[in-house]
Amino acid sequence: MRAAVIDGFGTPDTLHLADLPVPRPGPGEVLVEVAAAGVNAIDWASRAGRAVGVPSFPAVLGWDLAGTVAATGPGAGRFAVGDAVYGMPRFPALAGAYAEYAVAPETELAAVPGGLTMVEAAAVPMPALTAWQTLFELGGLTAGQRVLVAGAAGGVGHIVVQLAADAGAEVIGTASARNRDFVLSLGAKEVVAHDMVREVGNVDLAVDPMGGAEYFRMLDVVRPGGIVVTLKGEGPQHRRAAQEHRVRAGFTYVQPDSGVLDRLAPLLAEGRLRPHVERVFPLGEAAQAHELGEQGHVRGRLVLDLS
């Protein structure tokens, strides 16, 4: 099978096509013929050696995948050959989504919701799982709360905005000027520039995808008893500063969860949640996708089309 591999850590051009054996599904696993793979920020961080552990080379990156079940392993009965499935299997261990075939535990996959193309489905899992776990599992979001979402036009942010608005929250997003209308179209009530979160007041839940200075600016606008959830890891200085502000501090480290994907299916099928795909690349242009993504201004998600 063709796969986009790295033989070591490095710049985007480290990614190149190679022929690898088709993996075999083990107990409880299925072999997925990958139709599309989402390109997430963790992919380029991992390629550069800054994120997940890579046990050996050549390594196949990529976690978000959508495709068709091509074979089932011993004891796997949740899906049949030919079923359309998607998910973010194995994270943070390697899933090998940048390949024509990938093997995944069937419990970490869900059926592709009706009406979604494979490319759209591949844009969903990591952003949506991160958004759900941040808003509802850590953040305890309820209708009527005010939610501040930094990077509201990004892969994670654009899903956070939609899920929060759908749950009845009042959403304020940060974005560059060119993304203002896009973020409003997702259901945000207000959009401010990235460095202007101090203009926003009385926030119940703030989502910080960047870490650093933005996190500390958010503490000033979250009400006492509210929560800031970062996606970038927190240290003692974050927790100390949050405590001083009488704000709760949370950190999302996304986990595979097919139950959450199943719960999102009606929202996706009804168009209440819509993944935005800025650009689609063939597998052989994974390096170009990383180059563009790393510039930090993609709207929604980039996807590799393997079909």
Ligand X SMILES: NC(=O)c1ccc[n+]([C@@H]2O[C@H](COP(=O)([O-])OP(=O)(O)OC[C@H]3O[C@@H](n4cnc5c(N)ncnc54)[C@H](OP(=O)(O)O)[C@@H]3O)[C@@H](O)[C@H]2O)c1
Chain residues binding ligand X by CB under 6 A are: 40-42, 126, 130, 150-151, 153-157, 174-176, 179, 194, 209-210, 214, 231, 252-254, 293, 296-299
Dist CA 90 CA 96 (whole Å): 9
Place of tokens 């839940």: 205
Dist CA 42 CA 39 (whole Å): 8
DSSP state, residue 22: P
Which CB, 130 or 145, lies closer to ligand X? 130
DSSP state, residue 152: T
Angle in degrees, CA 225, 142, 156, rounded to 5:
90
The distance of closest approach from Cβ of residue 92 to ligand X in the complex, given in angstroms and rounded to an integer, is 9
The distance of closest approach from Cβ of residue 126 to ligand X in the complex, given in angstroms and rounded to an integer, is 6
User: What residues does 87 pair with on adjacent strands?
Assistant: 65, 109
The distance of closest approach from Cβ of residue 231 to ligand X in the complex, given in angstroms and rounded to an integer, is 4
The distance of closest approach from Cβ of residue 107 to ligand X in the complex, given in angstroms and rounded to an integer, is 19
Which CB, 25 or 62, lies closer to ligand X? 62
Dist CA 47 CA 7 (whole Å): 10
The distance of closest approach from Cβ of residue 70 to ligand X in the complex, given in angstroms and rounded to an integer, is 28
Which CB, 78 or 194, lies closer to ligand X? 194
The distance of closest approach from Cβ of residue 151 to ligand X in the complex, given in angstroms and rounded to an integer, is 3
Which CB, 50 or 240, lies closer to ligand X? 50
Which CB, 41 or 85, lies closer to ligand X? 41
Whether 290 and 12 have beta carbons less than 8 Å apart is answered as yes
> If residue 149 lies in a helix (H) or strand (E), which one and from where to where?
strand 146-149
- Phi first, then psi, for residue 165 (nearest 5°) are -65, -40
The two three-digit tokens of residue 265, written as one number? 């299916």
Closest by Cα among 129, 65, 69, 73 to 99: 65
Q: What is the dihedral of CA 69, 123, 131, 158, to 10 degrees?
A: -160
Which CB, 102 or 148, lies closer to ligand X? 148
Give the type of residue at 230.
T
The distance of closest approach from Cβ of residue 155 to ligand X in the complex, given in angstroms and rounded to an integer, is 3
Which CB, 67 or 173, lies closer to ligand X? 173
Give the type of residue at 237.
Q
Which CB, 102 or 123, lies closer to ligand X? 123
Place of tokens 């808003």: 135
Dist CA 155 CA 128 (whole Å): 9
The distance of closest approach from Cβ of residue 122 to ligand X in the complex, given in angstroms and rounded to an integer, is 13
